[in-house]
Amino acid sequence: MMPRPYFARRPHLCLGAIALAASLALQALPALARCVDEDAYDPDAAAVPAAGDVRTVEARPVDPRVNLQTLVRDALERSQQIGAARLSAEAAQEDIEETAAGKQVQASLNAGLGPGGSQSLAGTETSALQLRASISVSQLLYDGGRIDRLTDWRTQLAESARQGHLTAREQLALNTVSLALERSRYRQHVVVYGQYVRKMSCLLEALETIVRADRGRASELVQARKTLQQAELAQAQAVSQARQVEVRLRRLVGDGLPSVQGMSTLLLQVPALEQLLPELEHNSEIAALEAQARAAGSYAQAVAAGSKPQVSWNVNGSSAAGAGGSTGSTRNSSYSLGVAVNIPLLNPGVAPASDAARKRARAAELQRADALDARRFRAAEVHEQTQASFDRSRRLGMVLRDSEQVRNYTLQQWQQLGRRSLFDVMGSEAEHYNLRISHVNAITDGQQLNANLLSLARGVLEWLK
């Protein structure tokens, strides 16, 4: 005959164990009730300012796009690099005027004072003191197009400098947007880990109530306290990372940092690759390379024109007055008016210089073609990465919905007389909050990749408009 179970032989002990478990559950029930669904996942909750903020969150919500425009505008106004690029572009415009002035009327005046003399068949004449003055006026009529080609060369260099200024502005705007998104990422990390800390604090409070009545569950209390400390450590790291990003952002835009509220809703629409590819040719970097190739071609033509005849008209006049010397006081004047022709006869260096200039022009064209081809493949790669990141965020969102239910069910079953262990509860909580961090990272990675994709084509500045 099988022996009867221990509690069957002692029914009063069985009833006592049930009563004790029920008593413990009732004592911990108020704390445990607050642990179920105490926080809902809201990416925009990261608008709560972290330590180190200078500007507080606005009472009324502000369009995050406007905040981003403000950050980019402040960065462009403060940047010394942008100022240097602008001055270089303005200087290149002055170079055009300097080169084009070669075809305009040129005039010069020369004067001198001192002893002088002259020698001819009639004899030698000297003056103890002589005042001399001459004036020359001339203008180039024909030079084989050399000045025109040099002007074209300067014009294309100025266009390259202008496009370089636009490229610098675009790069700074991209860096500012990327840092703003990175700041939003870590501010959301702070919120998620803060909720994780509150959840583990709630569980710890419930366990402390239970352990006061049942010392046998003290190991669960230690385990919960360790998990809480790990959550607090993760939150502290997220706060530090957010502050580091804000330091880099303040270097670009100054101390006034707007709220990050709603930042996770920007740059979520991925443009079609077929729409982006035609816009790549209009990118400022490609336009600068194209201008440099045209400049090299114009310079090659200018070098070739250097071997052609030059025609100009000129007017020259001179006057000299002397005193003392062999002839006493004297005065003489002379003038000339005519057309001057300069015909190069032998210049062995023109041919190799012209060939070298043409080869440099061809090399610049190949560099532009290579850069455009590399940009097309880069755009295709970034487009795929962007779509993959947003697809990952959508899939993580679906997993999060199931994870939310699993964690609540696990906690409820642990409350109901130990149907689940504390390790199951903490495991489901850790998995849920890690999924939330992964979801935030996937969205932010997608936004940053989308900004890079726009920068490869029409640019972030154009998108902000």
- List pLDDT tens digits, range 10-49: 444 344 443 444 444 445 445 555 565 555 544 444 333 3
User: Would you give the distance in Å from CA 302 to the centre of its chain?
Assistant: 38
Give pLDDT tens digits for 329-388: 777 788 888 888 888 888 888 888 888 888 998 999 999 999 999 999 999 999 999 999
Give pLDDT tens digits for 100-128: 888 888 889 888 877 766 665 656 667 76
Question: Span 63-87, mean pLDDT?
Answer: 91
Tell me what pLDDT residue 58 has.
40
Taking the C-alpha atoms of residue 426 and residue 101, their distance in angstroms, rounded to an integer, is 80
Taking the C-alpha atoms of residue 235 and residue 232, their distance in angstroms, rounded to an integer, is 5
Lowest mean pLDDT among 32-46, 73-87, 167-181: 32-46
Tell me what pLDDT residue 18 has.
39
Predicted TM-score of the model (pTM): 0.80
What is the number of helices (H) and of strands (E) in the chain?
A: 11, 4
All structural domains of the chain, each given as residue ranges with its CATH number in brackets, are: 34-101+152-307+354-464 (1.20.1600.10)
Question: What dihedral do alpha carbons 215, 219, 220, 221 form, nearest 10°?
Answer: 70
Q: Which two tokens stand for residue 400?
A: 């999060």
Taking the C-alpha atoms of residue 364 and residue 294, their distance in angstroms, rounded to an integer, is 8
At a CB cut-off of 8 Å and minimum separation 6, what does 203 contact?
35, 224, 422, 425, 426, 429
DSSP 236-302: HHHHHHHHHHHHHHHHHH-S-----TTGGGSS-PPPPHHHHGGGGGGSHHHHHHHHHHHHHHHHHHH
Taking the C-alpha atoms of residue 447 and residue 439, their distance in angstroms, rounded to an integer, is 12
Tell me what pLDDT residue 30 has.
54
Tell me what pLDDT residue 211 has.
80
User: Would you give the distance in Å from CA 320 to the centre of its chain?
Assistant: 67
